[in-house]
Amino acid sequence: MSDSWFEYAIAPDGIQEDGCRPEEAQALRAYLRDEITVIEAAKEIVRPTEECEKPLEDLPNLWGVLQDALIQLPNLQSKIVELICSIKQRPDSGSVKNSSPRFWLNLPSFGHQWYDGNWWYYQNHWRNHPDTYRSPEKLAQIANIARTEALFVMVDADILGEGLKFESLARICDTLEDSKALLDIELPTVQEWLSHAGPMLCDLSRTPHEHYLLRSCKDFRRQVKEGKIHAVKQNERDLWQGEGGTSIERWKFWRERLQHLQNDSNLLGSTRETAKIALDAMG
C-alpha cells in the first residue's frame, strides 16, 4: 500500500476531476495504516462531502476510491468494509442534511456504482472472452470482487442489496452446474463465497426459496418451450437435473461436484486445489 496508490486515487491518469478529494485519500491512508480509528476515519472521509454545496455531485468519486480499494487492496478488505459500515452509521451533518433523508444510512448510489463498475462480472463476460480474463491480474480481480461481496453480505447485506445472497448462489449454480463453466476463472469465486459465507449459504439452502437467479436447466428448457426466453438458454446449468430454487439436495450436488473436481486430473493443479478449499469450507 504505497503512497503512489493514494496519489493515483486523487488524480487517476493525471485527471484530478476523476479522482477523490485529497482529504478523503488522506483519511483512508491514515486509517489503513492504523494511524486513526474507524470512527475517526469515517468522520474525516465524509467531511468534504458534508462541507460542499452539492453533496451528491462528487460522491461517486468517494465511492470510487473505496470500491477500488476493496478490489485492489485485498489484504485490507475487511478494514475497508468496516469503514463503509461506519460511514453508513454516521449522523447526517452539514449540507447532506438538506440533500436527502437518511443520507449516510442509504449510502446514495453506492450499490448501483458497484454493479455498474463490475457489470462484466455479473454477466459471465469471460464465457465469450476467456483470454481477456485469464491474466493473473484479472483472476485476482475476480476473486477479490467475490470476497468483497461475501464480506458485505455477512456484515450488512443492505449495502449491496438483499439480492446479493441469491447472486452468490447463482454464481455457484453457474460454476458447478454448467458444463460450459470456465473453472479456472469461475471456481475461485465459489471458493471465496464458501470460505467467507459458507454457513449462511448452507442455512439459506435448507429453506426453499424460489428466485429467478436460481433457475435450473428444467426451468430454462420450459421457458424456452413457452417462448419466454431465447433458445440459447436451454442448456444452461445442464449438469443439475433437479428443480430450481434453494434446496439441501442442490447443496449436496454442489458438494459432490467439488469432490469430483478436486480429483479431476484433467484440471490444472491450482484449480483442483481451489475445489478442495471450497469443499472444505462447506463443512
Global pTM exceeds 0.85 = yes
In tens, the pLDDT along 208-230 reads 999 999 999 999 999 999 999 99
CA dist., res. 151 & res. 155, Å (int): 6
What is the C-alpha separation between 251 and 207, in angstroms, rounded?
A: 11
Low-confidence ranges of the chain (pLDDT < 50): none
The ranges assigned to domains in the chain are 1-117, 121-283
The single-letter code of the amino acid at 188 is: P
Cβ-contact 5, 72 below 8 angstroms: yes
Convert the chain into a string of H (helix), E (strand) and C (coil). Answer: CCHHHHHHHHCHHHCHHHCCCHHHHHHHHHHHCCCCCHHHHHHHHHHHHHHCCCCCCCHHHHHHHHHHHHHHCHHHHHHHHHHHHHHHCCCCCHHHHHCCCCHHHHCCCHHHHHHHHCHHHHCCHHHCCHHHHCCHHHHHHHHHHHHHHHHHHHHCHHHCCCCHHHHHHHHHHHHHCCCCCCHHHHHHHHHHHHHHHHHHHHHHHHCCCCCHHHCCHHHHHHHHHCCCCCHHHCCCCCCCCCCCCCCHHHHHHHHHHHHHHHCCCCCCHHHHHHHHHHHHHCC
Query: CA 235 to CA 14: how far, in whole Å?
Result: 47
Residue 283 CB neighbours (<10 A): 9
Q: What is the mean pLDDT of the chain?
A: 95
